[in-house]
Amino acid sequence: MKNIMLKLKYDGTNYVGWQKQPNGATIQGEIEARLSALCGENITVIGCSRTDSGVHAREYVCNFSTNSLLQPYAIKRALNAKLPHDIVVLSAEYVADDFNSRYTVQSKTYVYQILNCEERDPFLGKYAYHVKQPLDVESMNLASKHFIGTYDFRAFTTAEGSEKNTTRTITDCCAERADNLVTIIVTGESFLHNMVRIIAGTIIKVGQGGILADEIPRIIESGERTLAGATAPAKGLFLSEVTI
């Protein structure tokens, strides 16, 4: 058996997330179906993250084991010829037998995009949350720094989350503006269900004046979901970088 790592890029608009499930098309399901046909055996793909419905990825890491004699470059080429237009294989390579995308990945960086202007943008409609009210990005950046560290983030996950241990480590977090596009960037070892979207929603609320930046530590310490901001829409979220 050979262990092969794939790096992908995908538009999550038409999918109910990464993980295969019966209620809609998934990235994992599309990859596994094409790989199984290509390799002539049932293939199970292990992913680095369970991205939610509608979430995108500029870089996603997954791996699978196969008896196929096909070389990684041939697998990449064949997959890109067969996959839907909104999923692309960036690279394919052999990795060690004990490599597991879920557990070997050291950190993940997510980027949340906000279109902050009066008018809609038809080219960003599927990829950014439109906020008309001017945002105070300086305050948003101050708020973001309070998320850096190891904390119990139970106030920043939803009831659907099944994790018993809600302590996570965030190594970097910031907010910045480039013209009308405001981005929130969060890097960490791993994340709870909807954690990044709730952090983004909270930082956005700071930018709108609904929460003070210095209130973030109190919200984290409280563990109360009701004190944090709304869960920001999925379409603005991208898995941007995976560190192995």
- Residues with active-site annotation: 52
Q: Which residues contact 230 (CB under 8 A, 6 or more apart)?
A: 198, 201, 205
Both tokens assigned to 171:
């190594």
Burial of 226 (0-12, 13-18, 19+ CB in 10 A): exposed
Q: What is the largest CA-CA distance in the chain?
A: 59
Q: Name the 3-class secondary structure at 151.
A: strand
What Cα–Cα distance (Å) separates residue 215 from each residue in 5, 7, 57, 238, 241? 42, 38, 31, 26, 29
Cβ(54)–Cβ(13) below 8 Å: yes
In angstroms, the CA 107 to CA 92 distance is 20
Q: List CB contacts of 238: < 8 A, sequence separation 6 or more.
A: 55, 56, 57, 58, 110, 111, 112, 113, 127
Residue 225 buriedness (CB in 10 A; 0-12 / 13-18 / 19+)? middle
CB neighbourhood size of 83 (10 A): 18
